[in-house]
Structure 1
Amino acid sequence: MHQTVIRRVIFLGLVAIIGIVGMQTYWVTTTWNLNDTEFRNKAKLALVNVARKLAAENESTLPNDDIIRPQSNNYFIVNIESEIDALRLETLIQQELIRLGMDLPFEYAIFDCTSDQMAYGGYCQATSEEIEPEKLEDEESYLAPDHNLLYYFGIKFPTRTGYIWQKMQLVVFLSVILLLTIAFFIYSIIVILKQRRLATMQKDFIDNMTHEFKTPLSTIRIAASVFQRDEYIAADSRLSRYAQLIHQQYERLNNQVEKVLQISRIEKGNFEIKKEKIDLKALLPQLINSVRARTDELAGELDTHFSDGPMPVLADPLHLSNIIHNLLDNAVKYGGNPPKIEISARRSKGQLILAVTDHGPGIPPELHERLFEKFYRIPTGDVHDVKGFGLGLFYVKQICRAHGWTIRLNSQPDKGTTFLIQIPLLSTSSLPAPQLITT
């Protein structure tokens, strides 16, 4: 994953988190305010009804205004301008709270004009049963008087906050889920950044290692060439075979190193594709002859089927040669024992269909998508008869994508494998100028 992609993911993730947290905060705040407003309105309605009933029983009248005087969020003073019976008051408060669905504890006190203080009544539930579990502290049970009134009582709801939170259980639950989701996202970003750093270190190490291999490989190539040209070594069959073996192993190792370097350039986006008009028919014989030598050594077969006439395409000759060589090399490796390979090129609706087929064990359908992944190799258990890094098909896929070509895979277990590349054909009369495309 490129650094710019990671930055975009982090930026968009942070924007999403800020937006979601903002919406959730707004939702929680709005829900709290709605429940708080509902609590205040119900409390006032219950206390007004209590005041009216007390006034009716005392055959007195209520003041025209300021019947309910809120002192805080959970403390209200009720002005009734008539004497109050404590037991009757407690019963009426309980009845009104139950009627309005406010089943929560309350404290009440009645103003005593003889002492000029609030006479504490008790800590009760909105039921007929009074609570006496533990005595409240003086500061908690203190209900402040209002010196501007004469006959009034005060009621306090000490569990108002818990009551509102209880009504917001769903909101709280969803908020906790949101926080856990955000924490998981942050943890995932940390893991991604850590894995990115480790992957970068690993890639840099591989790049440096492969570059360091180039110098000794060049030395081995020169030494092998000198050995093969030496008359004394050429006259000795055993030494000649050793010199040839050294050269073959050099070619094998050099090909693997070149694959790693090519993949590295592709991933960094600094490799160049130099497209030019070429005749695929003129390019294929050299590649086929090099592979035919290998199939002959293994007593295999290599058949070719080409349409008549030239096959002009717009492509990078080097990369086109490499992907054809990779497909043929895979066919030799996995084409059975002995390998039986077919390569064909035919025209179809202005397209050139290049196909490489082997008659090997085939590939299960569930592995088709992963076959073009970097470093992926088909599982073979503990048996590793075929050596390689799993880079060949990844390279083929990237080069086809860079050219705008389509590559497909047809394979079934025990029925062989066919790779098809669809390349646009050029007109034989047109001769476009070479163009340089940086990918």
Structure 2
Amino acid sequence: MKKAIPVSLILVALSLVGFVFLQVNWVVNIVQTQEQKISFRVFKGAQDAADSLGKYSAAAMRLRDQSLTFPFNGNALPSIKVNQRFSESEVNQIIQKALAQNEADKYKIEYAITYGQGSSGIPEQITPNFAALAQQLVTDSVLRENTPAQSFPIDARQEDGYVTANEFLTVFIPDLNSQAWQSLTWILFGSALLTLITISAFYLTVRTMLQQRKLSKIKSDFINNMTHEFKTPLATISLAVDALQNEKVQGNKEKSGYFSGIIKEENRRMNKHVETILQAALMEKQELNLRKDDLHVHDLIRHLVDNFTLQLYDKSGEVVMHLNASNDLIRGDEVHINNLLNNLIDNAVKYSKSDVPPRIVITTTNSSKNLIIQVKDNGIGMSKESVKRVFEKFYRAHTGNLHNVKGFGLGMSYVKDIIEGHNGKIKVDSTLGKGTTFTVELPLS
């Protein structure tokens, strides 16, 4: 199991990297293909437009301009320029029609019709941005690579009564890469969405695997802790029962009472453990029913402090109470409120330093709507990581060389659930080696 998870994570990571690489490579290839397709369609349309602009007849010209005369010296007709034969709007219509026939009318182009080819050609008709773009292409090599350009001759020859001049249609496709991306918007969006879904699926898979590994470790720790917590009282009860069966003990009421008390106390401990586990199960199912009544929290605190007197006496410790709240009345479940306060004080006692007498300070104050209870100790404290995770179920803070602290890691999770069940809040401040302070806020009745 330990080896399988790292190997699985490596394979999953490699699969994800491979998928992303292939997806990126596919996107690059499809954009390049689209650029080639756009260039082919635009230039094919431009070629068709150049052919259309080169065709006219003498009869058509006479209809357009009655002042024109055409001396037929043999078959020769005068060379008449495009701007003499077509208006600017007619030229644009011819070009757009040719582009539409080649499915290229949705792409942005800049064009010019010149008498003569290249820089020496005389512009006859030109789009507004053509000149500025042509000037930029002279000096900007990057822009030139992303702006395909091609010139198409409006052929100067006589054929079947049609005459064309020595003119050229030059077409630029500005910012071809961006146009290719824009034309593939939905395909690229789908690809990005698929990639995101795949990455999310991989992430959830990895997180689930790590959580399963963590839960497996938690389960093992819980079983070990539970075994220890039940084994110790059972062993004690077994010894006490054996002692009670001794004839000398049976004849001594004092010793019989002592061992009977041990059995009763250990039985109470086991019942408490069982109750803790059952409460955690109820919390997990959200089936815990709170029976709320009016409670005076100061009375509960005083009673609990009395219960810890012997434990603190053994450690030469003390509890200092500053019950300053003028109003300590809340609506709460007495059993669970008592348990959560007991857990906070019990932790302060358990996690005390071995060489320093525990000093626990319990303070109560009021805010406008809440009763604020603060339990502060001078114990071993917690690291920042432990502070972040102290309310996690089954989490137990690392206690270094302190081996006498046992439990299931359910206490603080239970405390948080009970406080939230009463619409309250809890926060913790702790410094490793200096102590911990828990602050609880509960709504006043």
Matched, 1:324 2:341: yes
Letter in 1 for 2:202: Y
SS of corresponding position for 2:415: helix
Deviation at 1:326, TM superposition (A): 0.9
Specify which of 91, 101, 104 is matched with residue 149 of structure 2.
104
Contact 1:305 1:345 in 2 (8 A): yes
| Residues 287 and 92 of structure 1: CA distance in aligned 2, closer, same or farther (over 3 Å) | same
Letter in 1 for 2:79: N
Contact 1:331 1:339 in 2 (8 A): no
Deviation at 1:226, TM superposition (A): 5.5
Alignment correspondent of 1:62: 85
Deviation at 1:316, TM superposition (A): 0.7
Specify which of 348, 362, 365 is matched with residue 344 of structure 1.
362
Alignment correspondent of 2:381: 362
- For 1:179 and 1:195, the matched residues in 2 are separated by 24
Please list the CA deviations of residues 154-203 of structure 1 after superposition, one character each: whole Å capped at 9, or x if unmatched: x999x98x984464469979857666444323433455666788899999
Q: Count the aligned residue pairs.
A: 344
Contact 1:407 1:421 in 2 (8 A): yes
Specify which of 202, 208, 214 is matched with residue 187 of structure 1.
202
| Residues 375 and 193 of structure 1: CA distance in aligned 2, closer, same or farther (over 3 Å) | closer
- For 1:336 and 1:200, the matched residues in 2 are separated by 31
Alignment correspondent of 1:392: 411
Deviation at 1:424, TM superposition (A): 4.3
Specify which of 420, 428, 435 is matched with residue 439 of structure 2.
420
Alignment correspondent of 1:268: 285
Contact 1:217 1:250 in 2 (8 A): no
- For 1:203 and 1:379, the matched residues in 2 are separated by 14
List aligned pairs for 1:107-122, cutoff 5 A.
none
Deviation at 1:417, TM superposition (A): 2.5
| Residues 313 and 299 of structure 1: CA distance in aligned 2, closer, same or farther (over 3 Å) | same
Contact 1:111 1:152 in 2 (8 A): yes
Alignment correspondent of 1:25: none
| Residues 62 and 348 of structure 1: CA distance in aligned 2, closer, same or farther (over 3 Å) | closer
Q: Kindly, what percent of the aligned residue pairs are identical?
A: 23
SS of corresponding position for 2:282: helix
- For 2:353 and 2:223, the matched residues in 1 are separated by 36
Contact 1:375 1:389 in 2 (8 A): yes
List aligned pairs for 1:36-435, cutoff 5 A.
43=46, 47=50, 58-59=79-80, 62=85, 68=95, 70=98, 71-73=101-103, 101=134, 103-104=148-149, 164-165=176-177, 167-168=179-180, 180-191=195-206, 232=247, 255-284=272-301, 286-304=303-321, 306=323, 311-337=328-354, 339-342=357-360, 344=362, 346=364, 348=366, 352-363=371-382, 368-380=387-399, 384=403, 386-426=405-445
TM-score (norm 2): 0.53
SS of corresponding position for 1:272: coil
TM-score (norm 1): 0.53
Contact 1:224 1:246 in 2 (8 A): no
Letter in 1 for 2:413: F
Q: What is the root-mean-square deviation of aligned Cα atoms in Å?
A: 6.2
Please list the CA deviations of residues 356-385 of structure 1 after superposition, one character each: whole Å capped at 9, or x if unmatched: 332213345675443333333434568655
- For 2:304 and 2:179, the matched residues in 1 are separated by 77
- For 1:163 and 1:280, the matched residues in 2 are separated by 75
